[in-house]
Amino acid sequence: MIWFRKLHKWLGVGAGLLMILVTLSGLAVVFEPDYRRLAHPELATPARPLDAAQLDRDYAVMQHLFAPADIRFLGLPTDGMNAYKVYLSDRSLAYVQPQTVRVIDHFGMLSSPMQLLIRFHHDLLMGKTGRLVLGILSCVLLFMMVSGLWIWWPGRKGYRLKHMKPGKTRAQLIRSHRTTGATTVLILLFFAVTGAYFSFHDGFQKVMAALDGEEADMELPRLAPQPGRDALSPGRLYDLARAALPAGQVTFFSPAGKENAAARFRIRLPGELHQNGRSGVVLNPYDGAVMKVVDATRVPAFQRSLQYYFPLHSGRTAGWGIGYRIVVFVAGCSLLLLSLTSILSWVRGRKKKRSGRGAMSMRRTAKTS
């Protein structure tokens, strides 16, 4: 048991600083939609129904506005975010008001403080390496919560919610650490598992497919570009996508690219928790043929559960409003408190040992003099 406690302590202290930085960035990111609406109140206005003719007009204007950059992805207006969200090939992002096609905001992915925080929380600004580090950090958090509960359990009768408040002494910091961990263990276990999923997606997918007994076909088809052949307009493709899944709301459009000419639409069907939906339609942009339809609500149960990980982890849930984002924020604050009390109690312990050694050395010097 002694080695178990030591491993718990040293993992907590060793990973504490990175855990604090990742948690702080997550606390800011969870309210990113609210920050956008506060900075630009027009984003909060109800979205008008979008038709093919309007999409064609707006898309043509946006192509002219942002040339020579190409439009890579286009988020369509929705209630609560009434703007086109335009992802451009020059790695910038723009919010554009529908109807008037006025640019509300336009910034580089790493020049905006909020986008910088989003990228840091996603991959520590280090791409695949950063995602791997975050996956390992999530596994550390998973172990810390399980081992912490094991260590706390024998003294559970002394549990008091008021003990979450940290004090100045090392004993008070340890008590706050243990009480906070015991109180929030379930929700932090969930955040640890979902955080690991973002880094080890393929492994999770294989495990869930094994539990389901079959693997859902979610891979999107590709299409080689056909130079010299005219593509259908975005509005026409939009109508075809809606016809393929008429019960859903189209949320994203990915136009034909240089390597993959297939036109892709993200669609949120009733019952989907993801704000953009996980369903979709892939079309041949040259003749409008439907290449694939993905109905995320019909995916086998265990694999469908993975669709809930992002919205529940990030607070970006369809229809749940700001209430759930506050729950996520409070959970993040508890993780921040756990990390801080872990480091501070270790620092206080080190100071106590040093002062004890100093006093002992002074007594030995006094005896010999």
pLDDT in tens, 48-76: 999 999 999 999 999 999 999 999 999 99
Residues contacting residue 120 through CB under 8 Å, at least 6 positions apart: 21, 22, 25
Indicate if the pLDDT at residue 367 is higher than 70. no
1 and 27 inside one domain = yes
Indicate if the pLDDT at residue 17 is higher than 60. yes
Q: Which residue has the higher pLDDT, 176 or 3?
A: 176
Inside any domain, residue 362: yes
pLDDT at 368: 58
DSSP 3-state of 272? coil
123 and 180 inside one domain = yes
149 and 237 inside one domain = no
Per cent of the chain over pLDDT 70 is 95
Indicate if the pLDDT at residue 360 is higher than 60. no
pLDDT at 356: 61
Helices 170-199 + 201-212 axis angle, to 10: 70
267 and 202 inside one domain = no
167 and 125 inside one domain = yes
**β-pair partners for 107:** 93
pLDDT at 124: 95
Distance CA(314)–CA(191), nearest Å, equals 9
Average pLDDT over residues 17-45: 93
351 — pLDDT class (breaks 50, 70, 90):
confident
Inside any domain, residue 105: no
Distance CA(256)–CA(268), nearest Å, equals 21
**β-pair partners for 264:** 254, 282
Indicate if the pLDDT at residue 361 is higher than 80. no
**Token pair listed for 335:** 């993780």
Place of tokens 């700001």: 322
Q: Which long-range contacts (CB under 8 A, 24 or more apart) does 322-330 make?
A: 322/34, 325/30, 325/31, 325/34, 327/187, 328/30, 329/27, 329/30, 329/31
348 and 211 inside one domain = yes
Which residues span the domain enclosing 364? 1-48+119-216+321-369
Average pLDDT over residues 216-233: 88
Indicate if the pLDDT at residue 149 is higher than 90. yes
Burial of 248 (0-12, 13-18, 19+ CB in 10 A): buried
Indicate if the pLDDT at residue 363 is higher than 70. no
Lowest-confidence segment of 7-16, 41-50, 250-259, 317-326 by average pLDDT: 317-326
Domain boundary among 245, 266, 298: 298
Inside any domain, residue 108: no
263 and 129 inside one domain = no
Indicate if the pLDDT at residue 341 is higher than 60. yes
268 and 288 inside one domain = yes
Indicate if the pLDDT at residue 359 is higher than 60. no
Whether the Cβ atoms of residue 95 and residue 36 lie closer than 8 Å to each other: yes
Average pLDDT over residues 173-195: 95
pLDDT at 281: 97
Place of tokens 């929705």: 78
217 — pLDDT class (breaks 50, 70, 90):
confident
Distance CA(204)–CA(309), nearest Å, equals 11
Place of tokens 């988020």: 75
219 — pLDDT class (breaks 50, 70, 90):
confident
Residue 109 has a CB neighbour count (10 Å cut-off) of 15
Indicate if the pLDDT at residue 1 is higher than 80. no
pLDDT at 236: 97
Is the pTM for the entire model greater than 0.85?
yes
24 and 85 inside one domain = no
Distance CA(10)–CA(17), nearest Å, equals 12
44 and 143 inside one domain = yes
Per cent of the chain over pLDDT 90 is 76
Inside any domain, residue 114: no
Strand segments (E) across the chain: 71-75, 84-88, 92-96, 103-108, 249-254, 263-268, 279-283, 290-294
pLDDT at 194: 96
Residue 281's nearest CA partner among 348, 336, 220, 368 is: 220
Inside any domain, residue 85: yes
37 and 3 inside one domain = yes
Identify the sign of the CA torsion 187, 318, 202, 14.
negative
Indicate if the pLDDT at residue 358 is higher than 90. no
Domain boundary among 298, 329, 358: 298
Domain boundary among 298, 313, 341: 298
> What does pLDDT average to over the chain?
91
